[in-house]
Structure 1
Amino acid sequence: MVLVSYLERLNRRHPWSHNDHYGGWVAGQVAASGARHVLDVGCGTGNLAALLSRRATAAEPVTVTGLEPDPATARAAAERFADDPAVTVVRAGFADRDPHRRWDAITLVAVLHHLPLVPTLRELRGCLAPGGRLVVVGCYREAGPADLLTALPAMLANPIVGLVKHPARADAPPVHMTAPTAAPQETLADIRAAAARELPGARIRRRLFWRYTLVYDAAVTAG
């Protein structure tokens, strides 16, 4: 379609991050949980880690550990936080994390679809400290009328937001949008079903700009 081609060209000229769009929401969910030690899986160049760290105060310090498997992206993030003791960037994927560490909060933004869904949800649950919170902004494979209805307003709004956020024409995407990507394989129905089994009580919502959000709170150990 001519309109779709035009919109794609416009989006390339005025790129903006759908993931960063939800960064403030993710940071708010983490802050509301009272988390002190946060793991950001697939931290990219550290935009979310910066938001999470910024929520800290002298009375309630927060440490953020970012895992990033892509060498160039991890290097950029590590350089960014070289003088910030509250943020540590580790060049590693989720499978290479410290298996003995438990976290007050774990965040994944556009990362879960890179990993095997069911085993990863199970492992994420095991990585949470009692009362810990998992916050996911994820991508899903479109399949069905509800997905198409959600995609239509996103397609129309996307270039408008791009013009507002990035009015100057870009020759290339910004650095924080150059990490490797992958197409999601699971539908939102698949994700809901897996979460129902592995993360009972998880709250999942369909969101604008081809995203969904998931929030899960681990049980607080009695006594």
Structure 2
Amino acid sequence: MVIAKVIVMALLARLDRFNRRHPWSHNDHYGRWVADRVAASGARHVLDVGCGTGNLAALLRRRAATVTGLEPDPATARAAAERFADDPAVTIVQADFAGRDPQRCWDAVTLVAVLHHLSLAPTLRELRGCLTPGGRLVVVGCYREAGPADLLAALPAMVANPIMGVIKHPARANEPPLHMTAPTTDPQETLADIRASAARELPGARIRRRLFWRYTLVYDAPNGRNGA
């Protein structure tokens, strides 16, 4: 039993080293999906919380009139601002979610690998308040693995991850690209925790487990025309 555990740990270590040599963004993998969900809602003005260097903001800009990106990391925010310096429809603000304009609401709000950095239930409540009537919240999030279902769901990702790395980043890397260098933290909430909080704060939200240790959440605010 001990020998088997040692072998497994050694294999995982080798796999981790391989993945680091061929880095690719699990978050960018879902970028087009997020942008499509936003476009399907008809949103004109979008808030992207934790915009990073602006990869998602660039996709959203093709489908919306304006995009506001919030990014707390100074170097990352600076890179995003420089990227969109010639586009007045994109505004990058060096701030976290608490630093948003408290007087403004948006037709759509997006968060990719951001929600686990924040207090779950209060943030969901505040996100709901950021939406215009009929507005849409789109989240790609991370969750803490807990139990057999999570471990089973991780197996396909463990197999696919190095394959995707070779496809997307065939050359060996000495360090991760800039858009993958923002500070990270491990998620504390399980998928069950997230479902429970969403059920209380965002009635009707659709949550799905996704590949590469992610889940998605889509919530549509009541349109306000019939008191719903």
1:195-219 Cα distance to aligned partner (Å, 9 max, x none): 0000000000000000000000000
Which structure 1 segments of 5+ residues have no match? 57-61
Bigger Rg, which one = 2
Q: Tell me the distance in 2 between the aligned counterparts of 1:185 and 1:17.
A: 21
Residue 209 of structure 2 is aligned to residue 206 of structure 1: yes
2:222 alignment counterpart: 219
Give 1:86 deviation, angstroms: 1.5
**Deviation beyond 2 Å, 4+ runs, structure 1:** none
Residue 22 of structure 2 is aligned to residue 19 of structure 1: no
Q: Tell me the distance in 1 between the aligned counterparts of 2:55 and 2:15.
A: 26
Q: Tell me the distance in 2 between the aligned counterparts of 1:85 and 1:206.
A: 36
Residue 123 of structure 2 is aligned to residue 120 of structure 1: yes
Residue 10 of structure 2 is aligned to residue 2 of structure 1: yes
User: Secondary structure of the equivalent of 2:38?
Assistant: helix
Residue 92 of structure 2 is aligned to residue 89 of structure 1: yes
Q: TM-score, normalised on structure 2?
A: 0.94
Q: Tell me the distance in 2 between the aligned counterparts of 1:121 and 1:158.
A: 30
User: Secondary structure of the equivalent of 2:139?
Assistant: strand
Residue 168 of structure 2 is aligned to residue 165 of structure 1: yes
Q: Tell me the distance in 1 between the aligned counterparts of 2:71 and 2:151.
A: 32
Structure 2 counterpart of 1:69, one-letter code: P
Q: Tell me the distance in 2 between the aligned counterparts of 1:132 and 1:16.
A: 31
Give 1:54 deviation, angstroms: 1.9
User: Secondary structure of the equivalent of 2:179?
Assistant: helix
User: Secondary structure of the equivalent of 1:30?
Assistant: helix
1:141 alignment counterpart: 144
Of 37, 43, 46, the match for 1:38: 46
Structure 1 counterpart of 2:143, one-letter code: Y
Q: Tell me the distance in 2 between the aligned counterparts of 1:55 and 1:122.
A: 26
Q: State how 1:98-109 maps to structure 2 within 5 Å.
A: 98-109=101-112
Residue 55 of structure 2 is aligned to residue 52 of structure 1: no
User: Secondary structure of the equivalent of 1:129?
Assistant: strand
1:32-79 Cα distance to aligned partner (Å, 9 max, x none): 0000000000000000000001235xxxxx200000011111001000
Q: How many residue pairs end up in the alignment?
A: 218
User: Secondary structure of the equivalent of 2:138?
Assistant: strand
> Identical aligned pairs, as a percentage?
83
Alignment RMSD (CA, Å)? 0.8
Q: Tell me the distance in 2 between the aligned counterparts of 1:24 and 1:36.
A: 17
User: Secondary structure of the equivalent of 2:102?
Assistant: coil
1:189 alignment counterpart: 192
User: Secondary structure of the equivalent of 1:106?
Assistant: strand
Structure 2 counterpart of 1:33, one-letter code: S
Structure 1 counterpart of 2:110, one-letter code: T
Q: TM-score, normalised on structure 1?
A: 0.96
Q: Tell me the distance in 2 between the aligned counterparts of 1:3 and 1:55.
A: 43
